[in-house]
Structure 1
Amino acid sequence: MRVIEAARVHAALPYAGLIERLRAAFRRGGEVPLRSHFHIDVPGSEAGGTLLVMPAWQPGRHIGIKAVSVYPENPQAGLPSVIGTYVLFDARTGAPKAVIDGVALTLRRTACASALAASHLARADAQTLLMVGAGSLAPHLIRAHCAVRAYRRIEIWNRNRARAEAMAEKLTDLDAAIAVVEDLETATRAADTISCATLSRAPLVHGDWLKSGTHVDLVGGFTPQMREADDAAIARAAVFVDTRAGAMREAGDLVQPLHSGLLKPDDIRGDLFDLCRNQAAGRRGDREITLFKSVGTALEDLAAAEMVVEGRAA
């Protein structure tokens, strides 16, 4: 059984290639039970931690399972807020084939799932990308989005400006102007695509700020208590999700509007299965506001892990 560390995972998963691998995975499908979600009490911590266990398999191919811990206060101790491990098994025998760095796998597949959605939902002529948040996922989201649209300007907003500036310095190889912004409202009003990767419990993106034709990509919130966009954004947008079962159960950006009656299940126009199989129309016009809510699915992990193992075998 091989152990594949983070650097090799990143090298094996180029953004454009993984986006197409995910597209093929959603067309093909697989067995993906809802992930198990456990709160972990931490002495002296108000936030505590979260343990996620995510299995998926395709008969005759592979079984995969990811165990991820999410500890929001970890950065204060110099640790990432998300830590995890992925194990890939042979589905014909049950024998383990590889243990893969789960953080690197998650960063790449999450970013590429958002870019996959954007390939259907963002305007073809989108020029300005706003990144809300400057955590470990943010640079991967930026690079993945740039793999599907030719952005000329990338703006970064974060509560801690220094973190945004440090991230901007690592993106100078991109063929786009990079700027750190302080006024989130002004940046939101100008953006063609907005990607959010925060752990916020209060909305950051307001629907009244969105211009016609904007695509909103919500990635960070993964519990019913988290919000990155307000009700006005949900009401104005054509809403899409990665998976209906996961997003409608776990994502506060949808759970709360569903509970209040602002959003009905039938208002969700499609998921990544629908989009990739051409069973749901994506963007319907240049003036339509689109919104994609991602909570992650183990099918993405499985597709990425297979790609990593194939790359290592080659």
Structure 2
Amino acid sequence: MPQRHVHSIGGQLTTLIMPAWIPGRYLGIKTVNIAPGNAALGLPALAASYLLYDATTGQPLALMDGNEITSRRTAAASALAASRLAKPDAQTLLVVGSGQVARLLPEAYRAALPGLQQLWLWNRTPATALALAAQLRDQGLPVAAVQDLATAVRQADIVSCATLATAPLIHGEWLQPGSHLDLIGSFTPAMREADESCFQGASLWVDTIEALRKSGDLLAPLASGLLKPEDLRGTLADLCRQPGSGRQHAQERTVFKSVGTALEDLAAAMLVYEQACPKSRCANAPAS
């Protein structure tokens, strides 16, 4: 997985190209077009597509909705990390945000942590939180909207943020010992969801080392010296490959910061393709 390519196309249009591959099996390339001015035209600001190829012949296998792949793999990666970092007996999840990723988080977390009993949702606009909570309850999820963010954070075992915030929403003094903080937004230096004290005394994990260079959540405490690169405990891959490397004790406070990776896109696209085409050559090829 090379670093993503970012290109200014002209005007306000920016294109991101994110490739990843498994030799002899699959090659995937996601293209993301970002056009902030689209709001004035009544169009989405982001459009993405995902192309999956045979990594031996180069032949295209599938074209997928890049937005759908992105939102679902993002929620899945956060839930996967929480299954290693949250307390095994965690019962309360607070979701901060109401966008496409936030809508998927309650279901993803319940799949990874079946013991969760209380699912809370907070949004800057209370009416939006109430409407989304009602939609999720219709899907069979026990979600309730909350209005007091500080109180909800203090009571939650897991706090998962999926916003476009540019100033901290979560303050470290609110987080209880043993809690797990999941930060999904802040995928640029100008964005922040958590203040610096959220990282003080906490075990930090990231989805990819690139997070240390891209996320405003991490750049601020790194610049102040509160956080040092050597404080990083590891990546999501480390969590998955090294059993027992996650949470070490009940009072440990953990933080998972994600910025998204092309490997997550590839894993999601492979899953979609192999379920749709179980007899394909690539699906039956041995893993490398």
Q: State if a TM-score over 0.5 links the two structures.
A: yes
1:49–1:186 distance in 2 versus 1, CA, 3 Å: farther
Matched, 1:222 2:178: no
Q: Is the 8 A contact 1:152 1:176 kept in 2?
A: no
Q: Counterpart in 2 of 1:87? A: 51
User: 1: distance between equivalents of 2:65 and 2:164?
Assistant: 22
Where do 5+ consecutive residues of structure 2 fail to align?
A: 279-288
1:286 pairs, out of 250, 253, 258, with 250
Q: For residues 151-190 of structure 1, what are the alpha-carbon distances to aligned partners after superposition, in whole Å with 9 as ceiling and x for unaligned?
A: 1111111112222122111211566542211111111111
- How far 1:260 sits from its partner (Å)? 2.3
Q: Compute the TM-score of the two structures, normalised by the length of structure 2.
A: 0.90
Q: Counterpart in 1 of 2:2? A: 33
User: 2: distance between equivalents of 1:172 and 1:166?
Assistant: 10
User: 1: distance between equivalents of 2:172 and 2:40?
Assistant: 32
Q: Counterpart in 2 of 1:106? A: 70
Bigger mean CA deviation after superposition, 176-185 or 105-114: 176-185
Amino acid at match of 1:146: R
Amino acid at match of 1:226: M
1:77–1:292 distance in 2 versus 1, CA, 3 Å: farther
SS of the aligned residue for 2:250 comes to coil
Q: Is the 8 A contact 1:151 1:176 kept in 2?
A: no
Q: For residues 176-224 of structure 1, what are the alpha-carbon distances to aligned partners after superposition, in whole Å with 9 as ceiling and x for unaligned?
A: 5422111111111111100000111100000011011110000011101
User: 2: distance between equivalents of 1:133 and 1:280?
Assistant: 31
Matched, 1:169 2:134: yes
Q: Counterpart in 2 of 1:145? A: 109
1:280–1:124 distance in 2 versus 1, CA, 3 Å: closer
- How far 1:71 sits from its partner (Å)? 5.0
User: 1: distance between equivalents of 2:3 and 2:249?
Assistant: 33
- How far 1:37 sits from its partner (Å)? 3.0
Q: Counterpart in 1 of 2:79? A: 115
User: 1: distance between equivalents of 2:93 and 2:139?
Assistant: 13
Q: Counterpart in 1 of 2:211? A: 247
1:49–1:142 distance in 2 versus 1, CA, 3 Å: farther
Q: For residues 268-296 of structure 1, what are the alpha-carbon distances to aligned partners after superposition, in whole Å with 9 as ceiling and x for unaligned?
A: 10101111110771111111110000001
Q: Counterpart in 2 of 1:160? A: 125
CA RMSD of aligned residues (A): 2.0
Q: For residues 33-68 of structure 1, what are the alpha-carbon distances to aligned partners after superposition, in whole Å with 9 as ceiling and x for unaligned?
A: 1112346775xxxxx565322110111011111012
Amino acid at match of 1:57: W
User: 2: distance between equivalents of 1:74 and 1:183?
Assistant: 33
User: 1: distance between equivalents of 2:204 and 2:250?
Assistant: 16
User: 2: distance between equivalents of 1:313 and 1:176?
Assistant: 31
Number of equivalent positions: 277
Bigger mean CA deviation after superposition, 176-185 or 89-98: 176-185
Q: Counterpart in 2 of 1:13? A: none
Matched, 1:196 2:165: no
Q: Is the 8 A contact 2:107 2:141 kept in 1?
A: no
Q: Counterpart in 2 of 1:56? A: 20
User: 2: distance between equivalents of 1:174 and 1:124?
Assistant: 25
Q: For residues 98-135 of structure 1, what are the alpha-carbon distances to aligned partners after superposition, in whole Å with 9 as ceiling and x for unaligned?
A: 11111111111110000110010011111111010001
**1:124-143 correspondence to structure 2 within 5 Å:** 124-143=88-107
Q: Counterpart in 1 of 2:286? A: none
1:179 pairs, out of 121, 141, 144, with 144
Amino acid at match of 2:158: T
User: 2: distance between equivalents of 1:175 and 1:286?
Assistant: 30
Q: Is the 8 A contact 1:54 1:66 kept in 2?
A: yes
Bigger mean CA deviation after superposition, 98-107 or 257-266: 257-266
User: 2: distance between equivalents of 1:132 and 1:155?
Assistant: 9
